[in-house]
Amino acid sequence: MNYKQIVEQKVKEIQEKAKQGKDIYVLGIESSCDETSIAVIKNGREVLSNQIASQIDIHTRFGGVVPEVASRNHILCINNVLEQSLKTANLSLEQIDAIAVTYGAGLSGALMVGVNFAKGLALSRNLPLVAVNHIKGHISANYIQNKNLKPPFVCLVVSGGHTAILRVDDYLNHTLIGQTLDDAIGEAFDKVARVVGLGYPGGPKIDKEAKNGQYNLHFVKKSDLDKTYNVSYSGLKTAVINYLHKMEQSHEMINVADVACSFEHEAVDMLVEKTVRAAKEYNINIVAMAGGVAANSYLRETMSKECEKAGLELTYPALVLCTDNAAMIAAEGYNNLILGESINYDLKVSPNPSLKL
Ligand code: KG4
Ligand code: ZN
């Protein structure tokens, strides 16, 4: 039997095992940006290990992620990350049922390292390979955090490349309710952090600095977009940059904490209002959050308050599951495997840097 035939048989066995309530172990691999991560997840929701090798210190020197440097570092550490992950999970490769890997969106060279490593493992061990959409992985982090969570729910997706409000219809499908018309919120955080002198990584630095400031600067006025579920960040970003230039030209002191706090309020408030309004309009009483910006403390706090006021249940992943990690990829891979989706029987999957949600 060739790889395809063996794996087709294995997938059927796995699905049967899951029906009988037997344990399924999925190994997840994530390398779409500057984190090399490998995780082992039991039954799609229980994290046995979630090893993450971050390259933050390396890229800080350059003020942002350098794609070529990221790929090279993934190559250097991916074997060690696998070993550590299996060791922490107290499992050997023989006990793994399937491999899940991020194939997009992300940096082309970085994705290539994870995808090829996954293909090698899958082929050498005759294991099913599930190709995972990184953003769908972010959404699935919520299933790990909240073991009782089931679709439908409304999910606010906020990462470095995405800003969207979705209705998660079931484990495989979602409906787009609203999205950014230009920049992603994470991009805006990173850009504002850079121009205000906080540096890289922008999001966490703004988050920290904002705590010492006040919301006393008003960068954008309410717009027609407020009635829709769409958002825009390029106007806010430009307004902050213009404000900083004006202050510099007139030799006035800039209060970085106030800039951070005011930007954060204006970036976050509109998303919270729209997410809560969407849940009400779509008659859904569960709200979830996903992506790196969901780690933002002001967003977590404001969304909690507003959901409570509106009588909505709110769930969001722990910090380590918000930013890039392989546990969420394994969780999303498990859902696909059990439902027979995205299984790459011919091992021909290739990285898709601009993969859509
Ligand atoms: O989901 P993620 O780790 O990678 C992508 O898939 O893009 O998101 C990265 C983004 C970056 O823009 C980063 O600045 C932002 O998430 N981020 C934050 C925080 N932690 C990470 N933004 C605001 N507050 C944070 N605490
Ligand atoms: Zn991400």
Q: For residues 87 and 90, what is the distance between their CA atoms, to the nearest angstrom? A: 5
- Cα-to-centroid distance, 118 and ligand 1 (Å): 25
For residue 161 and ligand 1, the question of a CB distance below 6 A is answered with: yes
| Crossing angle for the helix pair 256-281 and 202-210, to the nearest 10 degrees | 100
Do residue 124 and residue 33 come from a single domain? Answer: yes
State residue 84's pLDDT score: 98
Ligand 1 atom at minimal distance to the Cα of residue 35: 3
- Cα-to-centroid distance, 107 and ligand 2 (Å): 11
Is 33 a residue whose pLDDT tops 90? yes
Do residue 104 and residue 202 come from a single domain? Answer: no
For residue 266 and ligand 1, the question of a CB distance below 6 A is answered with: no
Q: Is the peptide bond before 278 cis (omega within 30 degrees of 0)?
A: no
For residue 189 and ligand 1, the question of a CB distance below 6 A is answered with: yes
- Cα-to-centroid distance, 270 and ligand 1 (Å): 18
% of the chain with per-residue pLDDT over 70:
100
pLDDT tens by residue, 262-314: 999 999 999 999 999 999 999 999 999 999 999 999 999 999 999 999 999 99
Residue to mutate (ligand 1; options 31, 162, 189; most atoms within 8 A of CB):
189
State residue 200's pLDDT score: 87
Lowest mean pLDDT among 147-156, 206-215, 218-227: 218-227
Do residue 131 and residue 36 come from a single domain? Answer: yes
Q: Compute CA 322 distance to the chain's CA centroid, rounded to the nearest angstrom.
A: 6
- Cα-to-centroid distance, 9 and ligand 1 (Å): 40
Do residue 90 and residue 176 come from a single domain? Answer: no
Ligand 1 atom at minimal distance to the Cα of residue 202: 14
Q: Compute CA 118 distance to the chain's CA centroid, rounded to the nearest angstrom.
A: 20
Range of the domain at 59: 3-141+323-338
pLDDT bin (cut points 50, 70, 90) of residue 223 is confident
End-to-end CA gap in the chain:
35
Check if the beta carbon of residue 87 is closer than 8 Å to that of residue 323. no
244 vs 222 pLDDT, higher one? 244
Do residue 182 and residue 67 come from a single domain? Answer: no
State residue 52's pLDDT score: 98
Residue to mutate (ligand 1; options 52, 138, 159; most atoms within 8 A of CB):
159
For residue 317 and ligand 1, the question of a CB distance below 6 A is answered with: no
In a domain, 352, yes or no: no
Do residue 182 and residue 226 come from a single domain? Answer: yes
For residue 159 and ligand 1, the question of a CB distance below 6 A is answered with: yes
In a domain, 28, yes or no: yes
State residue 60's pLDDT score: 86
**Exposure string over 119-136, b if 16+ CB within 10 A, otherwise e:** bebbeeeebbbbbbbbbb
Do residue 159 and residue 302 come from a single domain? Answer: yes
State residue 161's pLDDT score: 93
pLDDT bin (cut points 50, 70, 90) of residue 217 is very high
Do residue 134 and residue 204 come from a single domain? Answer: no
% of the chain with per-residue pLDDT over 90:
94
Number of domains in the chain: 2
Is 57 a residue whose pLDDT tops 90? no
State residue 6's pLDDT score: 98
Q: What is the per-residue DSSP string for 88-111? A: HHT--GGG--EEEEEEESS-HHHH
Do residue 40 and residue 135 come from a single domain? Answer: yes
Q: Is 168 helix (H, G, I), strand (E, B) or coil?
A: strand
For residue 296 and ligand 1, the question of a CB distance below 6 A is answered with: yes
Please name the residue whose Cα sits nearest to atom 7 of ligand 1.
Answer: 160
Is 61 a residue whose pLDDT tops 90? no
Average pLDDT over residues 186-214: 96
CA dihedral (252, 255, 259, 265) positive or negative: negative
State residue 63's pLDDT score: 84
DSSP-assigned letter for residue 354: T
pLDDT bin (cut points 50, 70, 90) of residue 225 is confident
For residue 307 and ligand 1, the question of a CB distance below 6 A is answered with: no
| Crossing angle for the helix pair 326-338 and 3-19, to the nearest 10 degrees | 90
State residue 222's pLDDT score: 81
For residue 104 and ligand 1, the question of a CB distance below 6 A is answered with: no
- Cα-to-centroid distance, 69 and ligand 2 (Å): 18
For residue 291 and ligand 1, the question of a CB distance below 6 A is answered with: yes
In a domain, 187, yes or no: yes
Is 335 a residue whose pLDDT tops 80? yes
In a domain, 356, yes or no: no
CATH of the domain at 211: 3.30.420.40
pLDDT tens by residue, 111-142: 999 999 999 999 999 999 999 999 999 999 99
DSSP-assigned letter for residue 75: H
Q: For residues 330 and 168, what is the distance between their CA atoms, to the nearest angstrom? A: 18
pLDDT tens by residue, 150-188: 999 999 999 999 999 999 999 999 999 999 999 999 999
Is 224 a residue whose pLDDT tops 80? no
57 vs 248 pLDDT, higher one? 248
Would you call 68 exposed, middle or buried from its count of C-beta atoms within 10 A (0-12, 13-18, 19+)? exposed
Whole-model pTM above 0.75?
yes
Q: What is the per-residue DSSP string for 326-353? A: HHHHHHHHHHHHHTT-SB-TTS-----T
Do residue 136 and residue 174 come from a single domain? Answer: no
State residue 333's pLDDT score: 98
State residue 67's pLDDT score: 92
State residue 298's pLDDT score: 98
